[in-house]
A and B are shown apart, each in its own frame.
Chain A
Amino acid sequence: GEDVEQSLFLSVREGDSSVINCTYTDSSSTYLYWYKQEPGAGLQLLTYIFSNMDMKQDQRLTVLLNKKDKHLSLRIADTQTGDSAIYFCAETLSSNTGKLIFGQGTTLQVKP
């Protein structure tokens, strides 16, 4: 079935690295995404990874994909207070063009 799960809350100190984890159940996932949502706002696409890749790096963001374990992670280096937000993992399936399946979101709290 289609299911994406995330831990609900993560708290880090400013300057530390943050790692947000996500697991998914459907092995036919094609793209896996990370979105950021600030209070009262829509979703901002941070990065995405194609399912045949293991890693993608984009400035302070590193995405790791373990396809065997169906595990995706987002690492934010040198976390800043402006990174405080809710982070959503999402997948698209090869059988469902364009339909995004989201996790419930991880709230990242960055303490000064």
Chain B
Amino acid sequence: DAGVTQSPTHLIKTRGQQVTLRCSPKSGHDTVSWYQQALGQGPQFIFQYYEEEERQRGNFPDRFSGHQFPNYSSELNVNALLLGDSALYLCASSLEGPKGSDTEAFFGQGTRLTVV
């Protein structure tokens, strides 16, 4: 079992550019969530995808968008990058539970994005 995999591991972009980060969930999982972790902080929820739709969203601007594919993998897109977008971006996968609540969330190793 490969667990949650993210690519790339590191990325450097210039202000104003656009970036796409990728995530493959743990085998058997159908739900993908994205988090932003700034240096020295806890992860902050960006949004969650289930059945190829955004199910809920945290307090992030529309510059942050995503997609989930039929194989449950997901992408996070950030447009018009700002210096403050520099962070570790974490993907978590889980399995939709019987009452609509997710069970354990497993995290990938993250993508370290640096905006210069």
Contacts and interface: CB of A to CB of B under 8 A. Distances in A.
Q: Do A and B come from one complex?
A: yes
Q: Give the interface SS of chain B, mostly helix, strand, loop or mixed.
A: strand
B100 A100 contact: no
A100 B56 contact: no
B101 A92 contact: yes
Contact of A42 (B40, B48, B110): B110
Contacts of A97: 48, 55-56, 100-102
Given A100-B43, A100-B105, A43 B90 contact: yes
A43 B102 contact: no
B68 interface: no
Interface residues of A, number: 24
B90 A42 contact: yes
Contact of A98 (B44, B94, B106, B110): B94
Interface residues of B, number: 29
Given A41-B109, A42-B109, A98 B41 contact: no
B42 interface: yes
22 contacts: A4-B42, A33-B105, A41-B109, A42-B6, A42-B90, A42-B108, A48-B104, A88-B42, A90-B42, A92-B101, A97-B100, A97-B102, A98-B48, A98-B101, A99-B45, A99-B58, A100-B45, A100-B92, A102-B42, A102-B43, A104-B40, A105-B42
Interface of A: 4, 30, 33, 35, 41-45, 48, 88, 90, 92, 94, 96-105
Interface of B: 4, 6, 31, 33, 35, 40-45, 48, 50, 55-56, 58, 90, 92, 94, 100-102, 104-110
